[in-house]
Structure 1
């Protein structure tokens, strides 16, 4: 049976990624969302962050400074994790993470 967990994260208004992404209208880069999803996967499964690879990712809606995000992670039988990222009433990203084989 698949396990699902939810993790809340508020985007820090002073996150260093905003410095160049984009002046005048800061948007969270997709790599920051992926990094956060991997950190939550590590918490959920106990697998170190370096042991995950991104299977796929879709970025559906821009995220700005200070937004509260909800990361929903669901484990699959193979050890992979499907994730979706929500902000209020919209999905902002989704994808999958796969543990790297040793």
Structure 2
């Protein structure tokens, strides 16, 4: 299992509209970090599916989050199960599946 950390700075351009007065990091930004962590380990990915993603707690700007990735290989190709945590508290989890193309 690989692990990496990230921080979304309070100056990120998505935050003023999500939500005014109490900014939360949008789920799509968290998923972007998850995919970047997969690509760092395995190279550029082609098309992806995210058949299951669950957000259970918010991530606030300037908080450090950790991504844990578990890689498996299926007949259809590689699959990554991920968990995003802050200080051991689960924020998000799910699966990413490569649907085509070459994966290193």
How many residue pairs were aligned? Answer: 98
The alpha-carbon deviation at position 101 of structure 1 amounts to 1.9
Q: Counterpart in 2 of 1:68?
A: 64
What is the rounded CA distance, in whole Å, between the counterparts of 1:56 and 1:47 in structure 2? 21
Larger helix share, 1 or 2: 1
**Does the residue aligned with 2:14 lie in a helix, a strand or coil?**
helix
The alpha-carbon deviation at position 54 of structure 1 amounts to 1.4
Runs of 4+ in 1 over 6 A off after TM superposition: none
Task: Indicate whether 1:33 and 2:65 are aligned.
Answer: no
What is the rounded CA distance, in whole Å, between the counterparts of 1:53 and 1:44 in structure 2? 18
For structure 2, the 5+ residue unaligned runs are none
Q: Counterpart in 2 of 1:16?
A: 13
TM-score w.r.t. the length of structure 1 is: 0.89
TM-score w.r.t. the length of structure 2 is: 0.87
What is the rounded CA distance, in whole Å, between the counterparts of 2:7 and 2:30 in structure 1? 11
For structure 1, the 5+ residue unaligned runs are none
